[in-house]
Structure 1
């Protein structure tokens, strides 16, 4: 792990270098559900603890590699490509998959929130499939609620193919500045089916991937906690001992980090033992993501209150980390995800 993290430190801010590291790791990194999920999450957390943006580069690549493996999809040169996963939907945008008489699929339309699309080689994308258009994508496994046609399916697509164009967004946020997320347009782009209609969302790996993102958030929180501890220790070395408020907040931070570490480790064990592959997997994903997201925000608040404006204004690494992490955890849907969890809890999907 140490040589890898050293390489990540050297590549901070250099997206091509980070993508090269992601490609290398994708060949050897554990995949969720195959016996070493805890190691995978430790890898994601450790990289993100070095640099949040580096974790944001690595996570979708490893997720895409896992998706292709879960579907047994035959994608030429997949191991040599830098991958993304584009599954977001947006108002006024729709990506559709059409199949020709020979069973080949083509994508038409637009996809929002496509991070690093202009620098990636390929992506796993979700698209709406016309009803009855299962074709070579395999048997229909069900539809996604709310779609207007036959549901959504996943496809592997080359982002260098004719017909692909990427918008360059005006990324005004200080957070994740090296990873802008724009819109990608597809005009008759050849695509390889990855599972059947509905498979992408119904597979156990969908929830496992969502928890992998939470492992990245956790790594960011660990880094912020280390910033806090180091700052207090440095001040003490100069004769300024921390007061009881600072010590209490450091103690709370320690409780949060320790609790999250144990929770993620236990959850990873449940995944590998087969305990999170059924109907309860989605509830647990919501619990994990909600718990980690809330904890990250609490750690950030504790540290920011204690360290004040100084490091935010003058410490580049700390300021970048706080901005990157604040934007990254907004992938969590906050109370809307809690509402989903509450509905499942009301139906009896709980352990208490």
Structure 2
């Protein structure tokens, strides 16, 4: 029997967590069906809490819980919720349409949105002012997940003065073409990321030059991704515990190594939950709205990514090749999560944090 989808706790009461049960059941039912997951994300986006508004921990619990059900579902929900939050931070009101950009107007609460801010060698997207308050996009943007299935995107583009800014764009507008990516990955197979080309596409500015990267929400959004990774790690830990319990029911009690690794896994998960809870409180208290926000994001992301990899390692070592070869849900989760956490740039992000630490951005 398939186990019941369960919420992931960071700081909420059991009663509040229990309220997520219908959503998590719907996510479980929709897993693998991207249009259905996007529809659920749109529904959730209308009422989901936003970072910095008193509900940061609840938002992260939502993201972690969805990802614990299905990592790819978390990969659908997170960018949509981030895009809706970005538009709100820029002053677009709830229910307000982003002005038409060559196609139909897109309302953040109703459309399916993505966030495309990655850069790639040999690819460049330029934004040129058209004299009417809007901009025209020309060029290409890499790593645009699910672009062909989305209605709109918040993306970054290069300005004539050398800076970068964010723009809202209608992905159905004339001049937008989405490549079919050669996605050979075994992880996140239903979430292909490819290149999108823009040829004279009108776009609406979202904040001014540099705003996208300078706002505290940039750091908060990065920590929201880490909450998804955390949810994936919780799911792997639950797989491990369930496997040991099932083996014990059949007379094969776990040895000390298995118990030690389960204990280590428990320490890791419990420590991460506490760290995320404290960080969410600091965000809502206004303590991470300035220059230290990105340093804390780097700490959170690096700590969670390393913990995820450790949990995956100890669980895989203990359970061996069997579930990877024959348990579809477990194998998919491990593959999805391994690819998802590669959004963290490992030692390069640590080097960035080290540079900030050397300048005095630390608490010790």
Q: Does 1:226 align with 2:238?
A: yes
Structure 2 residues not aligned, in runs of 5+? 1-19, 99-104
Corresponding position of 1:337: 349
1:344 to partner: Cα distance: 1.1
Query: Using the alignment, how far apart are the partners of 1:276 and 1:101 within structure 2?
Result: 37
1:137 equivalent in structure 2 = none
Write the mapping of 1:36-47 to structure 2, written as runs, cut at 5 A: 36-47=55-66
Cα shift at 1:101? 2.8
Partners of 2:42 and 2:160 in 1: how far apart?
34
**Structure 2 counterpart SS, 1:277:** coil
1:146 aligns with: none
Q: 1:166: how far off?
A: 0.3
Match of 2:51? 32
Aligned residue runs from structure 1 range 237-252, under 5 A: 237-252=249-264
Task: Give, in angstroms, the shift of residue 260 of structure 1.
Answer: 0.1
Q: What is the SS of the residue equivalent to 1:93?
A: coil
CA drift at 1:282: 0.9
State yes or no: 1:103 paired with 2:133. Answer: yes
Q: Deviations over 1:158-178 (max 9, x none)?
A: 110000000011111100000
Matching residue of 1:71: 90
Per-residue deviation, residues 178-200 of structure 1 (Å, max 9, x unmatched)? 00000000001111110000000
CA distance in structure 2 between the partners assigned to 1:348 and 1:203 by the alignment:
21
Deviation for aligned residue 1:345: 1.1
Secondary structure at 1:113 match in 2? strand
The secondary structure found in structure 1 opposite 2:46 is helix
Please report how far the alpha carbon of residue 104 of structure 1 lies from its aligned counterpart in structure 2 after TM superposition.
2.5
Aligned to 2:13: none
CA positional deviation for 1:102: 2.6
1: CA distance between counterparts of 2:286 and 2:111? Answer: 30
Structural mapping, 1:155-194, within 5 Å: 155-194=167-206
Runs of 4+ aligned residues of structure 1 deviating over 2 Å after TM superposition are 101-104
Q: Which residue is equivalent to 1:5?
A: 24
TM-score (norm 1): 0.94
Residues 302-343 of structure 1, C-alpha deviation per residue, up to 9 Å, x if partnerless? 000000000000000000000000000000000000011111
1:43-122 to 2 correspondences below 5 Å: 43-73=62-92, 75=98, 76=105, 77-122=107-152
Q: Which residue of 1 aligns with 2:153?
A: 123
Q: Distance in 2 between matches of 1:248 and 1:45?
A: 25
Q: TM-score, normalised by structure 2?
A: 0.91
Q: How far 1:279 moved relative to its partner?
A: 1.1
Q: CA deviation at 1:29?
A: 0.2
Q: Which residue of structure 2 lines up, in the alignment, with residue 23 of structure 1?
A: 42
Report the Cα distance in structure 1 between the residues aligned to 2:118 and 2:272, rounded to whole angstroms: 27
Q: How do 1:195-210 and structure 2 match up within 5 A?
A: 195-210=207-222
Corresponding position of 1:217: 229
Shift of 1:105: 1.0
- 2 CA distance for matches of 1:257 and 1:104? 46
Please report the RMSD computed on the Cα atoms of aligned residues, expressed in angstroms. Answer: 0.7
Gaps of 5+ in 1: 132-148
Distance in 2 separating the partners of 1:287 and 1:100: 40
For these two proteins, the number of residue pairs brought into alignment is 334
Structure-1 residue corresponding to 2:4: none
The whole-number CA distance in structure 2 between the counterparts of 1:210 and 1:103 is: 29
2: distance between equivalents of 1:280 and 1:94? 30
1:277 aligns with 2:277: no
